[in-house]
Amino acid sequence: MSISVSAFYPDAHLKESAFANALTRVAMALAKENSNISQRSAPQIEVVFMLSGKFDSPGFEGMRIRRYDSKEATLVVESAVPEKAVNATNAQAYVVAAILDAVENAGEFLKEIEMSFNGEAHMQMVQELYPEATAS
């Protein structure tokens, strides 16, 4: 299973936010992990961060499974970004926590459909990339 991230920005100015910068840094770090076996095996989890704008909002809070494509072995998880996280100083910690939640939710979903999954390996990879954001 590989992890990828993206975002829906309903307003252009959101692309310059602390959240957008944090998401870009995390996406780049995940892309550099392509040698990690966890990042080269199916299924793929795509975490899509949904931000609110002047005329558009996710219409939900928290996180939800959007779809699973069995042919492509891709699970799309959507995460609604609270307004307070958009320009927060800890935006990166929020992104990392949401990714960890998405991996946990993916594990539950994939278990239900009886698909092989090593959630612990992915959690460990993310925690090793960002130990400061995952310290309890």
Quick one: pLDDT at residue 37?
62
Quick one: pLDDT at residue 128?
82
Helix axes 91-112, 18-32, angle to 10 degrees: 60
Q: How far is CA 59 from the centre of its chain?
A: 18
The residue ranges of the chain whose pLDDT is under 50 are: none
Residue 102 · residue 63 · CB < 8 Å:
yes
Residue 47 · residue 77 · CB < 8 Å:
yes
Quick one: pLDDT at residue 54?
87
β-sheet bridge partners, residue 64: 78
Structure-token match 């991230």, residue found:
5
Query: Phi/psi zone of residue 76: left (φ > 0), alpha (ψ -120 to 50 degrees), beta?
Result: beta
